[in-house]
Amino acid sequence: MVDYSEEREPGWSRKVSETWQISESSTRIRLWGRCPKCDCDSVTVVDLTTGVKGPGGAVSPTLDVLVLCSCTSPHPGRPADRSGCGRGGWLTVTLDGAP
C-alpha cells in the first residue's frame, strides 16, 4: 500500500501521458487511467468552458493540465478532504477539436 504524499514523482507525468486515455469534447477533456504510483484507477476532467480561451475566443492548441491522482482507495496519511495518493504532475494536452 502506498502512503499518501503530496510530492512530484519522477516520471509520473511521462507514464500518464503514455498510458492514459483521453477523450475530448467541445466543453471538456476527460483523462483516465491508472496512477503510475499506486496503480489505482484515476480520472481527471478538465472543463474547457472556463479559463482556456484566449483573447477573441481563440482556443489554444495545447493545454497544460494538472493531473492529480484521484483514486478512491485508502492511502495511509491522507487528509479526509483529499482523494488519491497525493501524486500528480503537469501534462501538456494537444487539442484537436479546436474550431
19-25, long-range: CB within 8 Å, 24+ apart, which pairs?
Answer: 20/67, 22/93, 24/95, 24/96, 24/97, 25/97
- Which residues of the shown chain bind Zn ion in the complex (CB under 5 A)? 35, 37-38, 40, 69, 71, 73, 85
For the bound state, the minimum distance from the C-beta of residue 33 to Zn ion, rounded and expressed in Å, comes to 11
For the bound state, the minimum distance from the C-beta of residue 65 to Zn ion, rounded and expressed in Å, comes to 16
3-state secondary structure of 82: coil
Of 29 and 71, which CB lies nearer to Zn ion in the complex structure?
Answer: 71
For the bound state, the minimum distance from the C-beta of residue 14 to Zn ion, rounded and expressed in Å, comes to 15
Of 31 and 69, which CB lies nearer to Zn ion in the complex structure?
Answer: 69
Tell the residue number behind the cell numbers 477573441, with chain if given: 56
